[in-house]
């Protein structure tokens, strides 16, 4: 997501902010900006704001031409979530009096209601961002004590934030705060930093305070004091970071892909943030279609390519199963050359993490031409898909740098779960009780993914053993089928080992001929209505001497002494199981590829965004 940096110290802030923003560029961004407090005397004290609605380099050119001087400043690279990437939407944001300056990473869930309340009280907003409520809320709570006003304001905010802030009235106070988004405080010699990412500050200091959830850091020339929103002082964790810049960008992980798999709990939580009530009522801000209108759609077409096509298949299953609406997932590159039969009663859902895949965009245009209502489910704000579709559902997964999609797929799956729940609700196909069950299942996912990732060593051990094979078959039924296809895709694209995916039923119609003791099979056998069928298939496979790695639900003994390896997954709702199984197979593929010495972040012949047919 966005990158933030704050500086308070003996040196000039602007060059430090510029360098830090350059180092945060790798996360992807659409605009950037800095605010620096200038002037020593109270009378000439003011804040200078410089923004670029495009590259960090453009911001740097502007700053070099007109360099603000001052020892306190904040900077930001923006990855838009609310409001287009424009000059006014670029951070820092300020209050009505231009005294309070804020940069933010995260999503403020209740910004619309806060904005309404603040506007009613006379506050004037200039941007479309969720962030702008923060300076105004601080202004509304300001009674001469900036820190107290920040605490009071933050108590009102729901969602995720990492913030760096200062007030023109307090030249020796830099404030940082976090909730559900990371923030660190760097401790230098007579200088301090607040940053969303250690990468920003790595050349300046190795001593870093890690802020806890809901904590606020008040940084002054005397040091950094951390407290809760209630003002209770806490002792933050001090860590010594000896990473270089490249290690820091990867959060200390060996590869972006691994870091991004580890980002999944946050990505999954962000995909739900502010969209789901306890009663399972779903709303999407940028796809705000009335219930009555949504109810009128008689079929759903889901388009995507590669991993996103597998997401489409998950959507197809869930929409049909939960909402009872005919749904079909299609390869966008095939769809574009067909003579489709649908029209204005069709909802076309376009899945694309980049928002720029050429075939998917043409599919979207064709669907629009035929009068379908279109919605893009994408990770990139104001991408071509988001701009061209009638609505957008943003993944909010944060930038994905590894070429192979990982966290964006799981965020796609969660988003499709929400869309399916919305369609099921407007069509009266799901009871309140069932909705609540699904909410509980979805909300439990971030922790369940975390627990699964904690078992990475166990997965790596299995992967290392299987890395000697040159061919793999993955198979599943129901939701397990797209999961199997994705498992096979992930393995082949990063390890260059041949892998294919099929359904349990299809197995006997050909693929089984391939199997022998050198052709292992990965079987998705976690609890589902077709689990027993999967177990029978595994018996058939084992009879052909093929080694089987089976994903099973904890406590299920039906494949003991049958499969060569069983990997226990938690007993959860089927949709949650599909997501957890996907993460397990991503880690499996990653560790096979690493064992084989492949470049997992930039696999040969592949590009992150396929903008040609």
**Residues belonging to the active site:** 2, 608
One residue of 191, 266, 493, 556 binding ligand F6R per CB under 6 A: 493
Closest distance between ligand F6R and the C-beta of residue 484, in Å? 15
One residue of 205, 330, 354, 528 binding ligand F6R per CB under 6 A: 354
Nearer to ligand F6R, 48 or 360 (CB): 360
One residue of 352, 410, 558, 598 binding ligand F6R per CB under 6 A: 352
Residues 24 and 92: their CA atoms lie apart, in Å, by 16
Among positions 164-193, residues that touch ligand F6R (CB under 6 A) are: none
Nearer to ligand F6R, 179 or 585 (CB): 585
What pairs with residue 347 in β-bridges? Answer: 300, 373
**Residue 586 interacts with ligand F6R (CB under 6 A): yes or no:** no
Closest distance between ligand F6R and the C-beta of residue 587, in Å? 14
Using the Cα atoms of residue 78, residue 80, residue 81 and residue 84 in order, give the sign of their dihedral. positive
Least Cα distance to 577 among 437, 405, 442, 486 occurs for 442
**Residue 353 interacts with ligand F6R (CB under 6 A): yes or no:** yes
Q: Are 399 and 28 in contact (CB under 8 A)?
A: yes
Nearer to ligand F6R, 9 or 417 (CB): 417
Closest distance between ligand F6R and the C-beta of residue 494, in Å? 8
Question: Interface mask (CB under 6 A) for ligand F6R, residues 47-86, using x and -?
Answer: ----------------------------------------
One residue of 148, 294, 514, 610 binding ligand F6R per CB under 6 A: 610
Residues 473 and 567: their CA atoms lie apart, in Å, by 17
**CA dist 563 → 155, 276, 535, 558 (Å):** 53, 39, 10, 9
Nearer to ligand F6R, 215 or 493 (CB): 493
Closest distance between ligand F6R and the C-beta of residue 409, in Å? 7
Closest distance between ligand F6R and the C-beta of residue 287, in Å? 18
Helix (H) / strand (E) element for 486: namely helix 480-495
Number of H helices, E strands in the chain: 19, 25
Nearer to ligand F6R, 249 or 360 (CB): 360
Helices 307-318 and 480-495, packing angle to 10 deg: 170
Closest distance between ligand F6R and the C-beta of residue 510, in Å? 24
**Degrees to nearest 5, angle at CA 601 with 267 and 519:** 95
Q: By Cβ distance, which residue is nearest to ligand F6R?
A: 306
The sheet that has 72-78: what strands, in order across it?
46-52, 31-38, 72-78, 3-9, 191-195, 184-187, 207-210, 237-240
**Residue 31 interacts with ligand F6R (CB under 6 A): yes or no:** no
Residue 307 backbone phi and psi in degrees, to 5? -60, -35
* H helices present in 529-603, as ranges: 531-542, 574-595
Closest distance between ligand F6R and the C-beta of residue 353, in Å? 4
Nearer to ligand F6R, 20 or 308 (CB): 308
Closest distance between ligand F6R and the C-beta of residue 290, in Å? 29
One residue of 14, 89, 308, 586 binding ligand F6R per CB under 6 A: 308
Q: Given the DSSP bridges, would you call strands 46-52 and 72-78 parallel, antiparallel or unpaired?
A: unpaired
One residue of 182, 265, 306, 520 binding ligand F6R per CB under 6 A: 306
- The stretch near ligand F6R (CB under 6 A) out of 150-158, 173-181, 350-358, 547-555 is 350-358
Nearer to ligand F6R, 485 or 524 (CB): 485
**CA dist 340 → 146, 361, 420 (Å):** 60, 16, 23
**Residue 112 interacts with ligand F6R (CB under 6 A): yes or no:** no
Residue 84 backbone phi and psi in degrees, to 5? -65, 160
- The stretch near ligand F6R (CB under 6 A) out of 17-25, 143-151, 303-311, 557-565 is 303-311
**What is the DSSP secondary-structure string of 381-410?**
TT-HHHHHSSEEEE-------SSS--HHHH
Closest distance between ligand F6R and the C-beta of residue 280, in Å? 27
Residue 182, classed as helix, strand or coil, is coil
Tell me what percent of the chain is helix, strand and coil, each rounded to the nearest 5: 40, 25, 40
Question: Interface mask (CB under 6 A) for ligand F6R, residues 356-395, using x and -?
Answer: -x--x-----------------------------------
Nearer to ligand F6R, 129 or 354 (CB): 354
Residues 613 and 609: their CA atoms lie apart, in Å, by 11
**Residue 307 interacts with ligand F6R (CB under 6 A): yes or no:** yes
**CA dist 184 → 215, 217, 380 (Å):** 11, 9, 26
**Residue 400 interacts with ligand F6R (CB under 6 A): yes or no:** no
Residues 334 and 327: their CA atoms lie apart, in Å, by 17
One residue of 31, 105, 264, 405 binding ligand F6R per CB under 6 A: 405
Nearer to ligand F6R, 168 or 264 (CB): 264
Q: Are 283 and 425 in contact (CB under 8 A)?
A: no
Closest distance between ligand F6R and the C-beta of residue 384, in Å? 10
Contact set with ligand F6R (CB under 6 A): 305-308, 352-354, 357, 360, 404-405, 493, 609-610
């Amino acid at each position: 997501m966005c990158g933030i940096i704050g500086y308070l110290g003996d040196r000039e802030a602007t060059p430090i902010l510029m360098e830090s923003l350059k180092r945060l560029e790798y996360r992807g961004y659409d605009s950037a900006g800095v605010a620096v407090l200038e002037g020593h005397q109270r009378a000439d004290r003011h804040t200078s704001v410089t923004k670029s609605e495009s590259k960090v380099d453009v911001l740097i050119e502007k700053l070099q031409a007109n360099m603000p001087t001052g020892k306190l400043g904040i900077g930001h690279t923006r990855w838009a979530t609310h409001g287009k990437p424009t000059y006014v939407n670029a951070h820092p944001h300020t209050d009505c009096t231009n005294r309070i300056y804020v940069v933010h990473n995260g999503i403020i869930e209740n910004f619309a209601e806060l904005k309404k309340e603040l506007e009613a009280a006379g506050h004037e907003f200039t941007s479309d961002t969720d962030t702008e409520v923060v300076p105004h809320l601080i202004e509304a709570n300001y009674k001469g004590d900036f820190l107290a006003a920040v605490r009071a304001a933050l108590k009102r905010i729901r969602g995720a934030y990492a913030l760096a802030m200062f007030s023109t009235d307090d030249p020796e106070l830099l404030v940082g705060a976090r909730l559900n988004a990371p923030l660190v405080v760097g401790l230098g010699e007579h200088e301090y930093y607040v940053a969303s990412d250690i990468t920003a500050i790595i050349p300046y200091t190795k001593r870093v305070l890690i802020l806890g959830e809901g904590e606020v850091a008040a940084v002054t020339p005397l040091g950094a004091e951390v407290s809760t929103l209630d003002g209770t002082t806490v002792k933050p964790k001090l860590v010594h970071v000896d990473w270089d810049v490249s290690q820091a960008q990867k959060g200390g992980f060996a590869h972006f892909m691994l870091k991004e798999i580890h980002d999944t709990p946050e990505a999954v939580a962000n995909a739900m943030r502010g969209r789901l009530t306890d009663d399972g009522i779903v709303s999407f801000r940028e796809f705000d279609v009335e219930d009555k209108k949504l109810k009128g759609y008689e079929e759903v077409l889901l388009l995507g390519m590669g991993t996103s096509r597998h997401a489409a298949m998950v959507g197809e299953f869930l929409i049909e199963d939960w909402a009872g609406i005919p749904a079909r997932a299609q390869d966008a590159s095939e769809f574009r050359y067909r003579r489709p039969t649908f029209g204005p009663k069709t909802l076309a859902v376009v899945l694309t993490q980049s928002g720029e895949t050429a075939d998917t965009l043409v599919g979207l245009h064709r669907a629009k031409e035929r009068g379908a209502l279109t919605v893009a489910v994408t990770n990139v704000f104001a991408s071509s898909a988001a701009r061209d579709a009638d609505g957008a559902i943003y993944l909010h997964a944060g930038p994905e740098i590894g070429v192979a999609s990982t966290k964006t797929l799981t965020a796609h799956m969660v988003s499709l779960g929400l869309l399916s729940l919305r369609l099921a609700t407007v069509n009266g196909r799901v009871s309140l009780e069932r909705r609540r069950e699904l909410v509980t299942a979805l909300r439990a996912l971030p922790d369940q993914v975390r627990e699964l990732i904690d078992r990475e060593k166990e997965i790596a051990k299995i992967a290392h053993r299987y890395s000697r094979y040159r061919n793999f078959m993955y198979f599943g039924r129901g939701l397990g089928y797209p999961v199997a296809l994705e498992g096979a895709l992930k393995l082949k694209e990063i390890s260059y080992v041949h892998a294919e995916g099929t359904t349990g039923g299809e197995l006997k119609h050909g693929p089984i001929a391939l199997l022998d003791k050198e052709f292992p099979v990965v079987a998705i056998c976690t609890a589902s209505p077709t689990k027993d069928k999967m177990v029978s298939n595994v018996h058939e496979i084992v009879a052909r001497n093929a080694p089987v790695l089976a994903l099973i639900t904890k406590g299920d003994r039906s494949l003991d002494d049958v499969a060569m390896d069983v990997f226990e997954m938690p007993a959860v709702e089927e949709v949650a199981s599909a997501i957890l199984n996907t993460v397990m197979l991503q880690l499996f593929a990653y560790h096979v590829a690493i064992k084989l010495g492949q470049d997992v972040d930039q696999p040969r012949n592949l590009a992150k965004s396929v903008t040609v047919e």
